[in-house]
Chain A
């Protein structure tokens, strides 16, 4: 086995196609995620265009019902699984290691694997168009319409297998980010000092880890039903289509928070930056995010109020669903509290963030109205719901994501996006979004069901549908402006400098774009809004910071090396899944191709496992590296108060005796925050004699 890696030399190129195919750099993977997802965004947008064009006037026959059904199914599936989730993942990748002061994620190759599997999953799903068998049962594909007698072509197989592959990607990246955030924070970054975006990424990743297996099981059962004659959801065989709804929504509701929490995290970074004021009620915002994540598990049946669950179940889910509005409302109030008394600068990221708050309020309020079951009975499956999800997913998630794009673009590329184009983009989106989706509330209440490919003029839905379709054109223009902005800014914009926004995050202390190793020296975190503390301290000392951290010789820092194996394993995974589409009809092995895919994946895994990866975990290696940035005192080496042993600087307790070190500064005698490695009162960083804190022991 080891010979395999001996024969194939490790990829070493730093540029060109190969470097991208074999990269394990979290920043490059973030770019890959973002670019791919943006292309899928355009695709999903085109699908939305077909929908809006068809519905612009009553009795339209522009597209056939089959095409229309494929369009809304693929629009929903694409926007959720191939756009918003991977765009969030793109931010996780690019921002998280920078924001927690790490050099990469915990498992860089697993990270590359996540991306390739995501790409292949998206391609598999969209390959259905090439065979003219796109899935057509809606993004939640209710059984038993999805069973063979009603959906004979392979569309639902593409859908089930595509989502299965995407699930592997999401799970792998969620595992990675949980470990990264829990385990790779720079010294001093306690949980309650983590930036909000890091917190929301952690909550999102935990939700992903717990929610995806449920849909995995549902998809396995659907695939077995369709290809192996089981009856999990087939009434004739005793199965229950409602079981699918439970499996889907037990996944699907946490999924809703998987889609919105990252955007909430982004906005919670941007509002303080452009108000020049810390986030109002940081612990409450963190806690409400966690509460939303937990309560998200207790509300799934509100998607099923019309299923006939009985008044008791419906009442319980009505109350739990209404209560989830409380932590959401708390977040909104705290955001407003952040603005209050601030010095608000209307740069494009801020506009998108304010747009997020304004539009999310609308989505949240309409959400309360269908949390109430009797009211929902009139709204379920109508355009009122379509309006609601677009206010939270477009006005919410996508506005948050675009806020993040404008905010972190200078860090990624070294250039600011053009403000004029950016503002135009924002206003087109803000207006287009409201013109498109606000009328849908009214359409729904006026009796227009969702997922209808045509409607009669007698219902009086024509005018507002036309208005909504015109709104689409505004959104289309907005997206075009964004593309222009990207191109123009990359070519024409001057260098942005390392910290264009005077931002509080760690990532702004290093140069833009960041060097491959991120931080020349792993920073010592002094509190929430670390870089603000550093900058203001430096300013107070009369030595304002104008330069990023000085670069070092990259060769002095051990970074993970590129690898072929994630790509090989991902290709194997794709063949494994896509092979399930080809039934060769052999007597015992109807599906031989997946075995080939499995073999390729296995070879990839063996190669991966045997590849020398000593470079993979390096966070600790460089802590003793050259010059500390910005005259931050060198960390002290705490000693255990009870036994005098030397403590690992990242431990909060003594590993040898278990006691908590209470440290007092040896020069001034003040008690130190255990997370500080230097004295905040006097700046001293001397060795502390063990006997200095015996009064506590």
Chain B
């Protein structure tokens, strides 16, 4: 009786494992970064490969664990069983079989994998590809469009990548400091962003909407909060956005006061641009190790058209007055380790709270929220 109990619970445990496994396969909920709800050819091909592997894995798992379990139960020692079992030392034919079959299976999967690797390496030849450069910074993303609207318009923006639907997007990956990794699970697997390498990746979204991405290579204190959004827009909406980007905002009196704060008392302008794109030469200069010099400033996200964004602070918080006010009061509360708290003059206070007056803060807020 005692001998039986462990076996039964082992069966149960394995049954539980299997159930969990099927749960995984059966219900892939539409989580925001789920690799199971792929969109576009890159993520779909990667998912297809994984799904096939998964079913092969499940089959092998059930088979091998099943045989193991069967052997454990069938050949358990019965009470009073004292005689020696048959002393077999091996079985050549059997051993060759279970070497050859996995080898063949694996080579077959391997060939398919290699085909997929080459297939996904480049966007399809002749496609009308939109090129965007993504620059990884500790801990936010900068996006540059060398030719956003097909007429040579250069755009710099941050943390929210806007791309047209049904068009191949090539992302050129550059890093300003350490290694990051660019990952939008629903659109494509990740590619590392490395200071010395001109890496690239591509994807193509099949549907419009907001896709979530996140840095996947550990890059320091705020690695967990280096997120970003990909807004996939209908072609015409995308063009409209590209053409109107950077138009001079309409400012109320309070917003104008805020602009003063931004440009002078607050010193925001040292790191942030709010009126149009950053100079490409400045951006290029940053990539040669801006961060490694102890200058006290760090490149900050470009804030042009900030108010049109869904979120701020690298995808962390919804963009609204309350959140932004909280952020401006003390960014450290929302994103520990950020360089704005560490380096901006207005935050060099005992408790890390902003040294601006409440009035200046409201004006600054008004200004930022009128950038559209």
**A contact residues vs B (CB 8 Å cutoff):** 64-66, 69, 137-138, 142, 144-145, 149-150, 234-236, 239-242, 275-278, 280-284, 306-308, 311, 314-315, 318-319, 322-323, 325-326, 329-330, 332-334, 336-337, 339-346, 351, 354, 357-358, 361-362, 365-366, 368-369, 372-378, 380-382, 423, 427, 430-431, 434, 438-439, 441-442, 445-456, 458-461, 536
Contact = CB atoms under 8 A, between A and B. Distances in A.
Given A315-B117, A334-B95, A460-B31, A374 B85 contact: no
A362 B87 contact: no
Contacts of A439: 20
Interface residues of B, number: 102
Given A65-B224, A277-B88, A369 B98 contact: no
Nearest to A318: B113
A373 B45 CA distance: 12
Contacts of B336: 64-65
Contact of B109 (A322, A340, A451): A322
Given A308-B192, A374-B120, 12 more contacts: A145-B218, A236-B292, A306-B192, A325-B102, A339-B75, A341-B85, A343-B81, A369-B57, A382-B216, A445-B24, A447-B34, A451-B223
Indicate the member of B17, B216, B225 with the most A CB atoms within 10 Å.
B216
20 contacts: A241-B196, A306-B191, A306-B217, A308-B192, A326-B102, A330-B98, A332-B64, A342-B85, A343-B85, A361-B68, A365-B57, A365-B60, A368-B106, A369-B53, A377-B189, A381-B181, A423-B6, A446-B35, A453-B224, A456-B316
Nearest to A458: B32
Contacts of B77: 343-346
Contact of B65 (A284, A306, A358): A358
Contacts of A449: 183, 214-216, 224
The 7 A-B pairs with the shortest beta carbon distances in the complex, nearest first, are: A447-B33, A377-B189, A452-B224, A281-B90, A308-B199, A235-B195, A236-B289
A236 B225 CA distance: 26
B8 to A, nearest CB: 12
B46 interface: yes
A318 B183 CA distance: 21
Contacts of B95: 281, 284, 330, 333-334, 337
Nearest to B38: A378
A149 B177 CA distance: 9
Given A277-B85, A447-B185, A322 B98 contact: no
A445 B38 CA distance: 11
Indicate the member of B195, B200, B218, B224 with the most A CB atoms within 10 Å.
B218
A378 B50 contact: yes
A368 B197 CA distance: 28
B244 interface: no
Contacts of B291: 149-150
A377 B60 CA distance: 23
B188 interface: yes
Contacts of B307: none
B90 A460 contact: no
Nearest to A138: B218
A362 B179 CA distance: 31
Given A240-B196, A308-B199, A318-B117, A375 B24 contact: no
Nearest to A456: B316
Contacts of A283: 90
B281 interface: no
Contact of B88 (A149, A280, A329, A362): A280
Given A65-B222, A447-B185, A454-B224, A374 B45 contact: yes
Interface in B35-85: 35-36, 43, 45-47, 49-50, 53-54, 57, 60-61, 64-65, 67-68, 71-72, 75-77, 81, 84-85
B221 interface: yes
A447 B195 CA distance: 25
A50 to B, nearest CB: 15
Given A241-B179, A323-B103, A459-B31, A308 B117 contact: no
B102 A459 contact: no
B113 A373 contact: yes
Contact of A308 (B3, B57, B194, B221): B194
A275 B77 CA distance: 8
A358 B181 CA distance: 34
B239 interface: no
A392 to B, nearest CB: 15
B372 interface: no
A147 to B, nearest CB: 8
A375 B50 contact: yes
A439 to B, nearest CB: 8
Given A66-B221, A346-B3, A377 B188 contact: yes
B219 interface: yes
Contacts of B71: 336, 339-340, 344
A438 B57 CA distance: 15
B265 interface: no
Contact of A315 (B114, B178, B196, B212): B114
A334 B88 CA distance: 12
Contacts of B34: 445-447
Given A319-B114, A341-B86, A326 B53 contact: no
